[in-house]
Amino acid sequence: MKVGIIGAGAVGATAAYAMVMRGVAREIVLSDLNQQRAQAEADDVLHAVPFAHPVRVSTGDYSDLAGSRVVIITAGVAQEPGETRLELLSRNAAIFNQIVPQVLENARDAIILVATNPVDVMTHLTADIADKYGVHRSRVIGSGTTLDTARFRALLGGHLGVDPPHVHGYVLGEHGDSEVFPWSLVTVGGVPLDEFCRQWDICTDDEVRADIERRVRSAAFNIIEGKGNTSFGIGSALTRIVEVILKDQRALLTVCTPVRDVAGVKDVTLSLPHLVGGKGILDTILLPLSLNKTEETALRASAEVVREAYENVKAL
C-alpha cells in the first residue's frame, strides 16, 4: 500500500525511515519543494530497505501521490525569533492553502494525516479545505497529542517501574501548553493509579505529577534546544497512525480531528481518544463525561485556546 509524504525535512524523512523499519507501507513517495533534499532522503531511506522490509522508496510531485492510501503533511515553516504564534499560523495557513487542494486533486481517496504545527489549527484548516472538495472530515487526522501521550506513559512508567505499554493514560486537548493530563483516568495493568500506588507503596503526589507534566510539556523545547529538531518520537507516532489505518486496526489514539462539541466549545479540533481504522476516524470517546470537574474545566480552556487561534487565522 502506498503512502505519500509532503515535506522531506527531519520529520518526513524519519517517518519514512520508521515505516520501512516496521514494514508498514509497500511504497513511499517523498515530495518536497527542495527536490535535491527529497532525493537524498529517499535514497538514504532506500538503502535501509535490505536490512528491514521490502518497501519501494522514491520521490515525486503531487501527481505521484495518486493511489496513496495515506498522505502525511509535514511541510511548513518553523517559528522565527520574535515571531508571534499568530504570525506563524498565518504563514503556515498560506502554505496549506496551496498544498491541501493539490493533495486532494491527485489523491482524492487518501486519508490526510497532518503533522505540521500548530497541529490542531492546521488540521482544522485542512478539514475546512477538504469540505470544499466533498471529502468528509473523518478522513482528516492530525497527529495531535499522540506523542505527548507516549511521553506521558514513558515517564510515568519509568517512575512506577512498569513497562509503558501497561500504563494507560491520555494527554488531551491542545498539542501545546494548555494540554490536559486527566490523572483520574490513569490505570496500570487495569488497576486505577491510586490503588496501584497504594499496593506498591509508590508516591505519585501532586509534586510528582506536576513534575511529570512539566517534563512532557517541555520535552520538545529541550530536544530542539539540544539537537535542533524533534524527529524520532513524532516519526514513530506518525508511523503508528499509518499502520492503524492501513491495517484497519481500530485502535484508540489521541489524534486530533474536528469535533462538534467539547465541554461546551463548538466545532473545534483537539485531541481526544478517537477510534481510528481503515476509513479514518470511526468514532470518538467523549471523555468529558468521565473527567472530574477540574479536568473538564481544563479541557474546556484548552478547547477555547485552539478555537480562538483558528478564528484569528480565519479573520486574516
Catalytic machinery residues: 175
* Cα distance between the two ends of the chain: 39
pLDDT at position 87 is: 79
What is the homologous superfamily of the domain 2-142 according to CATH? Answer: NAD(P)-binding Rossmann-like Domain (3.40.50.720)
Find the range with the poorest average confidence among 82-96, 196-210, 250-264.
82-96
Q: What is the domain partition of the chain in residue ranges?
A: 2-142, 146-314
Strands 27-31 and 167-168: unpaired
Q: Please count the other Cβ atoms lying within 10 Å of the Cβ belonging to residue 228.
A: 9
Tell me the three cell numbers of residue 56: 519501494
146-314 under CATH 3.10.20.30, yes or no: no
User: What is the overall mean pLDDT for the chain?
Assistant: 94
pLDDT for residue 209 is more than 90: yes
Please give the C-alpha separations between residue 28 and each of 57, 68, 111, in angstroms, as whole numbers. 5, 9, 15
Question: Looking at the predicted structure, is the pLDDT value of residue 80 above 70?
Answer: no
The pLDDT tens digits of the residues spanning 22-53 come to 999 999 999 999 999 999 999 999 999 999 99
Sign of the Cα pseudo-torsion (174, 180, 185, 186, in order): positive
pLDDT of 123 higher than 80: yes
Contact 196, 160 (CB under 8 A): yes
d(C-alpha 94, C-alpha 160), whole Å: 45
Calculate helix-pair angle for 85-106, 293-314, nearest 10 degrees.
80
Confidence of residue 236 (pLDDT cuts 50, 70, 90): very high
For the segment 262-316, what is each residue's pLDDT rounded down to a tens digit?
A: 989 999 999 999 999 999 999 998 765 689 999 999 999 999 999 999 998 876 6
Is this prediction's pTM over 0.75?
A: yes
According to the model, what pLDDT value does residue 312 have?
A: 86
Side by side, the strands of the sheet bearing 167-168 are: 167-168, 187-188, 191-192
How far is the C-alpha of 306 from the C-alpha of 147, rounded, in Å?
Answer: 18
